[in-house]
A and B are shown apart, each in its own frame.
Chain A
């Protein structure tokens, strides 16, 4: 459910990490857990995934251009004139200068194609070109009829399935780190329940944000924005995912996990989503949303809220800040126009400071892990290089405050988290070790007792 301002992809646990992209605005979903508005990637997987994600990220950003792509070699013939005619037809009093050559050449070429096919009389007789453009416009009108074939794809996009997968993977990480013998059915139920809860929260988030999503590049191709699904259906889908999901967690796992899941849905849909447009506090709320899934994984395994759960949650919480703040640095224009209250726009100094502080916090939290008996002492040692590297990039971002440093920090955060979780898992203190220690202590106790008694 992480705020997928960006997109996120999913993957199974055992050494496979994926990361996600994301949204502040844009977006976010339960994966807001992982990120905000934006697409957030959580797990790092293989290089292929990395590329796949980057491609998704890039393609999403370029959907505009990629839909209209035409070789630049096409000649540009009086596009200005064409546009002016269209303009006058629409009676818009706004001077339009030529748009990008790509767009112009595309409309020019397609209208030439249209001319050979369109035999009906043109409405405007001065030039045939507007007719071609008009039917090109006409073709962009779509019937609002739901086709069952399209439904799975639409629902996947509505629930931000990739982001959901990332959220489920953080839950699995929490489950795996819990110091109890691994129970496969419990693991499955917890993952499924969390996934359903994440889908529900993401759908409600999209339901609330339709006009805002339309106005941001990253989110303008969402199903509700495009009218592929009605708001009623989106809400019904959310209910049909959320209710079984929470029920599954409460009845199939334990009530604590169910309560956390329900709370997280509430936090994401009713606190984070409206707060995005009211105050910069949304970032902190969103970070909590991102921190809860691993806690849920832990409580699913152990049934209680231990220090270990809070530590894992703390790591995810701290990670959100360098991740999101770096990403939001490049989206300031969209946020400003869309009316989103983000630190990067209103308090840029705070934005960079907070990112840096939380990079340091990650080092601190990694050191606390062995103290709480979650991992061995090799964990802070092995994780120190990657934590120091992200802190270094955080410092560069803090000092330079420019696009290149923000991008470096963002891309680093994408592989940093999966790697940190993987290292944590490999350094996990085995349950057997702990039991041995316990016996030893108990044994020495008994011996002490024996000595005392005559």
Chain B
């Protein structure tokens, strides 16, 4: 249940007027574009799964990449196949995190720069008299969105290719691991039945 009236919030469903995911309200600092240094290891987030748990743990969406980090469980008798699967998943996670964190930060920064330059051209300041942040309306922002999309088109094509490759590889390895586990379980049952 939300205290906000639904009718009042109806706009948001159709228009992304809230800050874009991954864009924490930034101060305008073009020089500070740096991907977060802990973009690789979820361990940097300070969460440790309980010791008795034998499964992976998934966390809240990352502030910059909006992807949910996973802490992988390493069983004591991890087979080579299972290790390959885990490493493939870790590699995909790291690569996705790097891409989206950098991409979203670039988006936010370029958006700020665009707003700043447009406001300047109009003769306005970033913040008006009441201290409210000045914004441009959707039609003015449309130029920026079009530009940003066309500029990053090749980058997205490359990323798509990489993502599909990772995804297929991980799913295939998962299938293999599941098959091996199922066969092992069947063999064990057969042995138990015989005994």
Q: A residues within 8 Å of B by Cβ? A: 54-55, 57-62, 64-66, 69-72, 89-99, 134, 137-138, 140-145, 207-208, 210-211, 214-218, 220, 225-227, 230-232, 235, 274, 277-278, 327, 330-337, 339-341, 345-346, 348, 401-403, 406-407, 410
Contact = CB atoms under 8 A, between A and B. Distances in A.
Main secondary structure of the interface of A (DSSP, over half): helix
4 tightest A-B CB contacts, nearest first: A61-B13, A336-B145, A227-B58, A330-B15
Contacts of B59: 137, 140-142
Given A69-B2, A141-B59, A211 B67 contact: yes
Contacts of B66: 214-215, 220
Contacts of B141: 332-333
A140 B138 CA distance: 34
B66 to A, nearest CB: 5
B26 A94 contact: yes
Contacts of B26: 94-97
Nearest to A93: B34
A90 B44 contact: yes
19 contacts: A57-B13, A61-B13, A90-B38, A90-B45, A94-B105, A97-B27, A98-B25, A134-B46, A137-B46, A137-B60, A143-B53, A144-B57, A207-B167, A211-B96, A231-B174, A332-B16, A332-B145, A333-B141, A339-B152
Interface string B40-66: 000011110100010111111101111
B12 interface: yes
Nearest to A95: B27
Contacts of A71: 3
Contact of A274 (B4, B64, B160, B171): B160
Interface of B: 1-4, 6, 9-16, 18, 20-22, 24-27, 29, 32, 34, 36-38, 44-47, 49, 53, 55-61, 63-68, 70-71, 96, 100, 103-105, 107, 138-139, 141-142, 144-146, 148-150, 152-153, 156-157, 159-160, 163-164, 167, 170-171, 174-175, 178
B36 A91 contact: yes
B192 to A, nearest CB: 24
Nearest to A336: B145
Given A62-B13, A335-B145, A337-B22, 7 more contacts: A65-B4, A93-B37, A94-B105, A137-B47, A215-B22, A226-B58, A346-B149
Contact of A61 (B9, B58, B61): B9
B50 to A, nearest CB: 9
Contacts, number: 219
Contacts of B167: 207-208, 210, 231
Contacts of A334: 16, 20-21
A214 B25 contact: no
Given A401-B139, A403-B138, A345 B145 contact: yes
Contacts of B10: 54, 57-58
A339 B158 CA distance: 12
B13 A141 contact: no
Contacts of B142: 332, 345, 348
B103 to A, nearest CB: 8
Nearest to A346: B146
A225 B61 CA distance: 9
A61 B107 CA distance: 21
B68 A227 contact: yes
Contacts of B56: 143-144, 227
